[in-house]
Every structure is written in C-alpha cells, then in structure tokens.
Structure 1
Amino acid sequence: MKKSQKTPEQMMMLGLGWWNLYFIIKLALFSQGTIGFHPIENFAFVIYLLIPLRHKLLTLIRAIAAFPIAFYLGHYDSFLPPLNRLWGQMSGLMDFQLSYLLELASRFVSLQDLLAIAVLIFAYYFLNRIFRVSIFVIAAMIYFSLPKPSPQQAVVPIAAAPALVRLLRASCGQEPHEALFSDPPSQQCYLFDNLAKLGYGENLMLNHNGSFDNFTGLLKNEGHLQAPVMSKEGLSPYQAAFDGSDIYRDKDILNRWLTNREKDPQEKVVALYNTISLHDGNRIIKNSGETGMVSYKRRLKNLLDDLYTFFDTLKKSERNIVVVLVPEHGAGMRGDRMQISGMREIPAATIVHTPVAMKIFGPNMKRTGETYHVKAPSSYLAISTLVSRLLEQDIYAKGTFDPKALSEALPKTKMVAQNSGSTVLEYNNKPYVSLDDQTWQEYPQ
C-alpha cells in the first residue's frame, strides 16, 4: 500500500521539531535576564521554519540557511557587542594562543551548560512523543512578548575615557578616544614633558615586550615618552601572556630599576612602570594548568607581595621617592550580560572604577594628619594636579606633608569611559552605553 502524503496544513501542524529546543533555551535565558528577546524577529523565524514546502531540495536549503539565521538572531537577542566589533578585533585575536581561545570559549558555554542542554534534549525527545511541544513553545513566546515597561533611556553628550596614553596626557584631562591618536590641544598636556622641563629625566620599565598592538610605539608617538625601555636581559620569565610572549616578575623589574637608579648620575627622574601581571589569559609558567579565577588569585597575591617587598626596600633605601599606583582597568572577572568574564571591550562602570593610591617615601619625612581618602569621582586630571601640588608645596625641602592639604578639592570628573566604538557614562545614577555614538540604552545590570 502506498504511504499517504501529508498536506501542507498537516506538515505545518508537525511543528518546529528540534528547533523547539532553540526557542526553549532562549526563553529560559530570557526569563533569567541573561539575554533579551525581540518578538517580531523571533516570530518571523518561527514562520520561516513552519512554512510548508513540497520540494525536498527547498526543504534542505531552508534547513541549512536556518543555522546562520539562528546564530545571528541569538546574538541579536543577547547583550553582547555587535558582531562587527568582533571582526574589527580579529587581527588581535589571531595572536592569542589556542589554549586561551579555548578558555574564552568555555566562558560562553560551561560544562554545566552542556550537561543541562543534554538533559533538555533527552527530556524533549520523550515529551514530544506525548505532547505537541511546539504549541507550548509558541504560547510561551506570545506570553513573553506581551508589552512590559521599557527602561528609561536618555540622550547625553559624548564624553571621554580607563588607558596609559591618557595618563601621559593627564594635564589636559579627559579627551575623546579618537583624539588620543592626534596632537593634543596644547603641548602642556604631556605630563612627562612638563616634568622634563623641570629637570626630571625619564625612565621606562615594562615587564613584557611591549609589542602587542604596538604598545611601545603608542607611548612614544601619542604620549611623548621618549625614554628607552629598560633591559630585561638575564631575567627569567615568570608568566606567559595570551600570545605566548614572556612576562617577568614585578619584583625583578623593580629591583633592577632601583639598582640602576643608584648608579644613575641624574639628580631626579620620573619613571613609568607598566605591568601586565594581572592580564586575562596569562599563565604562570610553573603552574601552566591553572586558568581563570585560580590563576588570577595567585597572580594577584604575587603582585601585591612584590609591591609590599619593594616598598619596604624603598623605605630602607632612604631615598626621596613618591610612588603613584594607577590601575589601567579592572579585570572584569565576574563578567556581565554584555561581556563574558575577562572581556573588557566595553568599558563598564565595574571595570573602570579602580583605586588610585600615592605613597611618599623619605628618610626624615613626617606626615601630619591621617591618610586621606578622595571620595569624589576623579580621573587623570586629578593625578596631574596632585603631582603639581607635590612640587608646589616642596615637601622634601620642608620635611613634612599633609595628605589632606595635598588631596582635597582635586578636580572632579564624572564617570565617563570610552573605548573604540563604545561609550559608558552615568546619568541619573544609572549607567548608559552607546555603541554607535548616537543611540543610548541603559547598561544591562
């Protein structure tokens, strides 16, 4: 007996098939607040999947085309940056080691996620034999599509920003990101240039090779820092970076600089030290299997131990030295709904809100008053002002300093952070993000 063929209406009633899992997972993530949900686009995809096709070739073509559509729609529903941001960073990603790329992939989908998906597939296989699951899925999509209050949005002026070039141009405060790669409005913007005019020599130390993304070239061309990088010859690497290059222990670099400084005939110098000991993707060479939070905790402890030991050495050296600690950005180890753990492409408030500290060393220096905490929002211009006050008050000639007199009433800077193609700022005590410098939305918390 010849098997009867199903009519188009019957074929449509068969439902979404295994695509039900796609929408079930998406609705589950939406209910948890992990992603968003665009009703029109998702229902258009449902209709695309349900339209009956008589020809097997057309059915095959539709099935193949459905996968890139589903991928794009899934990204569109997420809070992740636009795909063109990823393509724009592709050349940098190609420098990452394979092990680091696999680690990043695991942050998108963990082992627990894979197990949950496996259980869902198993449950769907049996439930679909009893119930018409597509009806429940479409009903759930309709429910989640019902109008709900939308978050407040605002249109605000574009502002500037969390990098090292900004520190070298601190005397002119916040500049737009694009302006950092052109001449500043005044030559007085360059912090180290201003100190050089007062007789300070320049030192530059890195605990890495400075090659990635033309780092040393950026310091020279855009920050006017002309000092050669201190040699690391003879030192043993302590970590391997995400691109496999060597990273050296902070205490080794700092101690070598201090040794060189004691032999340096220059009366006074301003030294810049850049460390990437806490960068995401680093591996401690002796513990190459440790990744993620485990590696970060160990590397953080080592960095703090090295700094504590170095400060103790400075104290015993009886030299007049001022140390300013300026983190470039936070590690973003927790991640958020727009970025996975370790990703810092969008300068969220939790990433750019970092502590800055100053410590003054000297053999006979006396501090009057307690440690002063600047609680007002501040940024690079405040650092430049603080350095200026140190010189104006001539603390080493006086042999005493008052932390409050140095630090109170520093220039305030509202929370504004900018990277290439993205800006984050606070408005009415809420963070807002723009990815095109025109439209704004509340940053997903």
Structure 2
Amino acid sequence: MTDALYQRQRNQLAHHPLFSWPGLGVWSFYFIVKAGLTVAGVIEFFVLWNLTLFVFLVIPVHPYWLKILRQILAITAATILFYQETGLPPFGRLIAQWDLVSSFSLAYTIELLGRFIAVEWIAGLIVAWILYMYLAKAIRMTVVAFIVIITAPLWSPSEVQPFDTGPVERMAGAPVAATRLIGTDLDSVLSEFYARENLFQLIAPRQVEPDFDILIVNVCSLSWQDLTQFNLLDHPFLTRSDITLTNFYTGSSYSGPATLRLLQSSCGHRPHSRIFEPEAVCLLGDQLADLGFSREIRLNHTGTFDNFLGQVQQLGGFGDATFVDPSNFPTTMQGFDQSPIYSDAAVLSDWLNTVDDNARLTFYNTTSLHDGNRLTGFRGNSIASYRTRLNNLLSDLNQLYDDIIASERQVLVVIVPEHGAGLQGDQFQLPGMREIPTPALTHVPVMMRLFGPDVNAQERSPIQVARSTGPTAVTSAIYQILEQRPFSGGVYDPVRIVQNLPETRPVLENDRVIMMQHEGQFYLQINYGEWRPYVQ
C-alpha cells in the first residue's frame, strides 16, 4: 500500500504543470541544422540567443491561443536570429534600396532566387530531415538540441587566414565563419586613415597646353577574380598597356560611389557620406577643364538606374559636359532593369571618329558586363553569358587600340573598372550581390596607355605596379603625364610616373558597410557595429 501510494504521488508530481515541460518537437531540427552550418563555417552560432529561444520554446504553455502566439513569435525570432548569424548585411538595407531592387527584370529576379535557393542545399536539407525523423523515434532530440547549443562554441572554426591580395588570387575552399575582433582598436585605425587622407591633395599642373585627348573607360563589373574565374587572364588586351596597377582597390562595390571616388580623386579617400558633398578642388573634370580640356560623357546605357548620369554630372565634375546620346547606336543586349545596352564597339568608334578643336576629356561608362544582362541571341542566364560578354568587351578594347594607332591620334586611354561582378559569391553575400565591398569585388585591373606617332614607336615593356593603390593613383598618373609634355618637347617616362604614384591603404565602403585592411588582414564592420575578420 505504501509503495503504491508513493508511485501515485510521484506520478502526480511528475505530471504537475510546474514540472511537465514539453519537448521542442521539430524545433530540434532547427538547432541541429544550425550546428551543422556552424561546423561547416557557414554561420556564426550565437549561443546565448539560441539558448534563450530554446527556453522560450520549452516553457509549459497551456491555453491554445497562447501556444499559437508563441509559435508565431518563435518563428519570427528564429528567422531574425538565423539571418544575424549568417553575417549578411542588415535586412533594412534591402528595404532602403527597394526602389532599385524592384526595377530588376522578372528574368533577373528569378535568376537571383535560383542562386539563393541552391538545389544542393535543398537536397541536403531533405536528407537531413529524413535522418532526423528516423533518429527521433529512438532518441529524445530535445536533449540533443540542448547539448548542441551549449557545446556549439567548441565546434566553431576559429583559425583566421589572411586574405591573399595578389592580383589573380583564386578564391577556393570552404569559407570560415568570422569571429568578432578582440584587442585591436580598428576604429582608431580608420579615424587616423581618414585624417591623413583628408590632408591629401593633388594639384593639376599649371601652364600646360593640352595636346592630347584623355579617354577614361569606366567598366562596370570587372575584377581580377572575374578574369580568373572565367579564364580570360591570357586575353591579349591585358598585355597592351604601358602601366598596369595590379593591386588597385576602387573604394566601393557600387557603381555610383566607385565612379564618384574616381572622378573626385584629386583628393584622398573620404568617408562614404562625403562623396555626395564634393569639394571643387577634388574634381578631376573641373581641374582638367581649367587647363583647356573640353568635357564629354558617353555611356552605352541610359544612365537612369540609380541616377548614374545625374551623379556624374552633378557630383563628378562633368556638369556642363557634352552628353552623347547612346540611343544612336545599335543595341546588343537587354539590361538587368530591362533597359537597352548599346554596342561598345560602335560608341568607341564614334568617339575616335569625332574631331574636336580642343583636347577632349571623355568619360565613358559601359555596363555590358553587369549581372542580369541578357545577351541578344544567347541562350542561358547572365552568369553563363558573362564570359562571352567579357571576351567581347576585351576584344572591342583591343580593336580600339589598333584603330587609335592607325589614326595616329594623340590619346591617353585609362581603363578603370568600377567594381567586379562577384559571380562567385562568398559567405557574406550571394553571387552577383555587392552590398559588402569585399576585396574580390573591389580589387580590379587598372590599365593606362599613351598613344601618339612618336610614343607608339618607342620600345618599352609594360610596367606592373604591385603596391596598394586607389583612385588617387589615376589622377596622379594623368597629371604627371601632362607635366612630362610628351608631345611638346618633353619625354614620356612611365617608369618615373610609377615611382611617384601614391600608395593607399585598402579601405572599401558602401553606406554603413566598411571593409578595411590592417596588417595584411581584411576586417568588416556593418552598421557601426563590431569589427570582425573577413575570411574566405
């Protein structure tokens, strides 16, 4: 009797609401999957917040309506938590740019969704779910999930490998989850960098009579990684420059900001917000106009997306420049925003055949390589067509060089990409996205060549500049060539030009997103938060 009473009281106590805590159910799968992603280095596991969510889910709740409310809150919290653990940019950045995102064509939107939802990940998730359901019949998975949560820090990869800054690095291997930086005050390093750059100023040479044209070819979506990924490093055009900056960083991974940094490069690197409030002394276009250059803008697109043309005119020192309407040229593809993309060859040929009494400064921007473009007559998505589009552009530029030589025109051609295409992607963002200004996106090939009858006949070898440079190096090279007066009795000396190019620490930024190199390692800061190493 006593033993039976004891068992009955024990059973009643065990089932008392205070002690009757439910299991996680399928929520165990959520925590276990995240543990697997942590081990793979895909996410950073936030132990405290996951443990909080775990407790929230297992606390006994009896009213049915309260159970439903808890599930709604838990799903919302779990989604936000998982997004934070991925290290992706704040979701608010997408909302802030919705006007731009909503202008993407339907075909491009579908293509992006296909990149986000990889077939391999779906297959892996299905296999994991089947295995989970099988084990759940024999093991209490809530206990497994709890053990996974409290031991997750022991599984997280912790070794940090510095990012290789070589010009043609191949981004291979599984990424390693980034950890927060401890013990280094990178905010002070960044502040000191801004202070030094604020004092930097390039002054255009005086008493110089412009006697050659300057063509700046601003290429959207071309980086060293792109050339490597699509096996075009051996294209003959890449060897035809006098000077190649092999370790050049654009300063931003978005078209507008990167282009403005180039056109405002008479000054040093400024914080992102300041490029939208330019000082007159920083504008390359205005300074060259004061020397007597006439200014001209050419595009192979409409220039309306993100008000690109307006930014060049209003913030880039080309306010009263002649604009050559691109709609006069043949269309070769449809842009990612359904607008027409015109022939690079036709636009550049027209530039060469146009005669001006004054020396011309022409800014030409091409978006032929932009992600999402649909090449006329090509079957497949924009990633599949990228190599064809890149090969076409390089061949068009190669032909341009031949035509300039044949014309005996005196011209300085500067090829400066805005940013890369980023079609390989990494742990921080999807292929084709550029919210995070990673080195793969901002590390681009910059090439310069001076043409003219006497210059063309000179025997010289291409010079490669391996030290870290930025937009100020482009302005410096232009001003130095003007000072050398190569067509007015002076001597063109690219070796001396290279020796005097300014070196710049790689600081790469978009709005509230900064990537900075410090002691050979890149670090990332989002929304003024903590710095963490960028590891690939």
Establish whether TM, by shorter chain, passes 0.5.
Answer: yes
TM-score, structure 1 length as denominator?
A: 0.91
Sort the Cα spacing of 1:244 and 1:10 in 2 relative to 1 into closer, same or farther, 3 A.
farther
Deviation, 1:368, is 4.9
Q: Aligned residue for 1:194?
A: 287
Deviations 1:34-93 (A, max 9, x none): 110100100111111111222222112222222211110111111101122222112211
SS in 2 for 1:434: strand
Which amino acid is 1:140 matched to? Answer: V
1:299 to 351, 373, 389: 389
Following superposition, the deviation at residue 10 of structure 1 comes to 7.9
Aligned to 2:6: none
Residues 80 and 280 of structure 1, relative CA distance in 2, 3 Å threshold: same
- 3-state SS of the aligned residue for 2:435? coil
Task: Quickly say closer, same or farther: Cα 1:310–1:6, change in 2 above 3 A.
Answer: farther
Q: Cα distance, 1:214 vs. partner?
A: 1.0
Of the three residues 39, 45, 48, the one matched with 1:31 is: 39
Q: 1:443 to 1:265 in 2, by over 3 A?
A: closer
Matched, 1:377 2:468: yes
- Range moving further from structure 2, 198-207 or 114-123: 114-123
Segment drifting more, 98-107 vs 418-427: 98-107
Give the structure 1 partner of residue 96 of structure 2. Answer: 88
**Which of 335, 339, 348 lines up with 1:241 in the alignment?**
335
| Correspondence for 2:310 among 217, 223, 229 | 217
- Shift of residue 135, structure 1, vs aligned partner: 1.8
Task: After TM superposition, give the deviation of residue 8 of structure 1 in Å.
Answer: 4.4
Aligned to 2:266: 171
Which of 384, 394, 413 does residue 323 from structure 1 map onto? 413
Q: Distance in 2 between matches of 1:236 and 1:369?
A: 37
Superposed CA deviations along residues 357-409 of structure 1, whole A, max 9, x for unmatched, are: 10122223243542211121111211111111111111123485332122213
Moved more, 65-74 or 138-147: 138-147
Q: How many residues align?
A: 435
The amino acid that maps onto 1:228 is: T
**Would the alpha carbon gap of residues 145 and 439 (structure 1) be closer, same or farther in structure 2, given more than 3 Å must change?**
closer
Deviations 1:182-211, CA, capped at 9 Å, x for gaps: 141xx3321111111221111111011000
Instruction: Check if 1:272 corresponds to 2:363.
Output: yes
Q: CA deviation at 1:152?
A: 4.0
1:302-324, Cα deviation, whole Å (9 max, x unpaired): 11111111211111111111100
SS in 2 for 1:195: helix
Q: In structure 1, what is the Cα distance between the partners aligned to 2:301 and 2:144? A: 56
Q: Is the 8 A contact 1:374 1:408 kept in 2?
A: no
Deviates more, 1:150-159 or 1:234-243: 150-159
Aligned match of 2:322: 228
Question: How far apart in 2 are the matches of 1:205 and 1:41?
Answer: 52
Q: Which residue of 1 aligns with 2:453?
A: 363
Q: 1:346 aligns with which of 436, 455, 478?
A: 436
Q: 2:392, 2:150 → 1: CA distance?
A: 53
Alignment partner of 1:130: what SS?
A: coil
Distance 1:328 1:223, change over 3 A: same
Deviations 1:266-311 (A, max 9, x none): 231111100111112222132253232x222121111111111121
Instruction: Name the amino acid aligned to 1:441.
Output: R
- Distance 1:81-1:266 versus aligned 2 partners, 3 A rule: same
Relative contact order (alpha carbons < 8 A, sep ≥ 6): 1 or 2 greater? Answer: 2
1:65 aligns with 2:73: yes
Runs (5+) with no aligned partner, structure 2: 1-11, 159-178, 195-250, 253-257
Q: Secondary structure at the match of 2:296?
A: strand
Q: Contact 2:302–2:326 at 8 Å: present in 1 too?
A: no
Equivalent of residue 401 in structure 2, options 282, 305, 311:
311
Residue range with higher mean Cα deviation, 111-120 or 37-46: 111-120
Whether the aligned pair in 2 keeps the contact of 1:238 and 1:248 (CA below 8 Å) is yes
Deviation at 1:136, TM superposition (A): 1.8
Structure 1, unmatched stretches of 5+, are none
SS at match of 1:145: helix
SS for the counterpart of 1:322 is strand
Matched AA of 2:28: N
Q: Is the partner of 1:341 in helix, strand or coil?
A: coil
Q: Letter of the aligned partner of 2:49 in structure 1?
A: E
Structure 1 counterpart of 2:380, from 289, 303, 308: 289
Structure 1 contact 368–401 (Cα < 8 Å) conserved: no
User: Which residue matches 2:123?
Assistant: 115
Cα deviation per residue 1:105-153 (whole Å; 9 max; x = unaligned)? 2222201111111222222222212222222222122211359876544
Equivalent residues of 1:322, 1:358 under 8 A apart: yes
